[in-house]
Structure 1
Amino acid sequence: MSIAFLVTTLIAVATPGTGVVYTLSAGLSRGRRASVIAAVGCTLGIVPHMVATVTGLAALLHTSTLAFQALKYLGVAYLLYMAWATLRDKEVIAVVEEAASLPAAKVIVSGVLINILNPKLTIFFFAFLPQFVNAGEPGSILRMVELSAFFMMITFVVFTAYGVFAASVRDHVISRPQVMTWLRRIFAGSFVVLGAGLTFA
């Protein structure tokens, strides 16, 4: 595994995006357990990108403007929905004593959807990952799977670190209603900015 791939993976994962925002929100609102569950969901959301790349959908989206535009605007729509839901529902970031109060399945599904429609992942898997694999050589498919698995592992570790950190400071933040109001606005605004960036990409 090349140093270039390792560095690129760390940068791609650690750069704040939709998955990071979602995991931080889970950690602040429902604690450490919820943040880890959110990280699991975001990590599982990588699987469709990996499968699409390995099975050749990358080539289809590269040659089909319509397919790429459809995927892009679907992602924009979901990001705007997340912004609206964050502002509308005060329980998205609120004091919750038990992390289990929100079903783990719901947290995971949201995380999966966020990363399925994450443009950063689409770019990484559809355009960048194949550059580290020699398609003509035997075992190239297995090599892609290995690199994707490493990317998923790093995603889980980094996102969990983000979430656990957020959970560790929640007592200092959640007790202040005004701070919580602004946090909801910041998270919602982050989704809007990410959606706008995808729109004009």
Structure 2
Amino acid sequence: MLDLEILSAFFITSILLALVPGPDNLFVLTQSMLQGKKAGFIVVLGLCTGLLFHTFMVVMGVSVLFQTSIIAFTFLKIIGALYLLYLAWQLFKSSNSKIETKKSHLIEYKKLYFKGIFMNITNPKVSLFFLAFLPQFTNINLGNISFQMLVLGILFILSTILVFGLIAFFSEKLAKNFNKSNNFQNILNKFTSFIFVVLAIKLLITKQ
């Protein structure tokens, strides 16, 4: 079993990585500001379910396929980029809607949850990241490597829940401060839409 020093170093590193701006935490930020922290938490659960999928992929060795097969890697990154463009278009279309953080009961949480899952699992960079990142904290002298990577994957998910959960919580509070601005919703949606387009392009030009 991994010792406390390794687990602590991994957890701290995971928190720092979760803070790096990307499509996942940006999506949590946007949904929390637009629809409230509960919606943000639902997205977080969806994203972390996707991370659980990637963890099992690494443990079973399936993610090696995306590292060795140009066809599999290209197919998945195209699907991921198209989905980011779809989200960008959805945000751009809703630019004129008003922020309503108190009407979370009207939100289709099931859709948000599955959006989070799909957004995460269609990003081959996550599988490759896990494949490169998790083994660095394993030790063959401490037992089964697959079990160690499973433990590390779960710990990474917990750190993501912590960071993304805080983003969801504080984003709603931030949105309330801007709720009186008629232009804020429009600016936020268009800005996020632009960022998603940039991320989609970046994903498309990513090489193995």
TM-score w.r.t. the length of structure 1 is 0.90
Q: Which residue of 1 aligns with 2:14?
A: 9
Structure 1, unmatched stretches of 5+, are none
- Counterpart CA distance in 2 for 1:26 and 1:17 is 14
**CA deviations over 1:164-188 (Å, ceiling 9, x no partner):** 1110111221321211111001110
Q: Which residue of 1 aligns with 2:3?
A: none
Q: Which residue of 1 aligns with 2:107?
A: 102
Q: Which residue of 2 aligns with 1:127?
A: 132
Structure 2, unmatched stretches of 5+, are 1-5
Q: Percent identity over the alignment?
A: 28
Question: Which stretch shifts more, 38-47 or 113-122?
Answer: 113-122
**CA deviations over 1:79-101 (Å, ceiling 9, x no partner):** 11111111113487732532121
CA contact (8 A) 1:80 1:195 kept: yes
- Counterpart CA distance in 1 for 2:178 and 2:150 is 40
Is residue 165 of structure 2 the alignment partner of residue 160 of structure 1?
Answer: yes
Is residue 61 of structure 2 the alignment partner of residue 46 of structure 1?
Answer: no
**CA deviations over 1:98-142 (Å, ceiling 9, x no partner):** 212112211111111111123552332132222333569741111
Q: Secondary structure at the match of 1:45?
A: helix
Q: Which residue of 2 aligns with 1:20?
A: 25
Is residue 192 of structure 2 the alignment partner of residue 187 of structure 1?
Answer: yes
State the shift of 1:58 in Å. Answer: 2.2
Evaluate the alpha carbon distance shift between residue 158 and residue 152 of structure 1 in structure 2; reply closer, same or farther with a 3 A threshold.
same
Which among 140, 147, 156 is matched to residue 145 of structure 2? 140
RMSD of aligned residue pairs (Cα, Å):
2.1
- Counterpart CA distance in 2 for 1:73 and 1:137 is 39
Residue 102 of structure 2 aligns with an amino acid whose one-letter code is E
CA contact (8 A) 1:12 1:120 kept: no
- Counterpart CA distance in 1 for 2:91 and 2:141 is 46
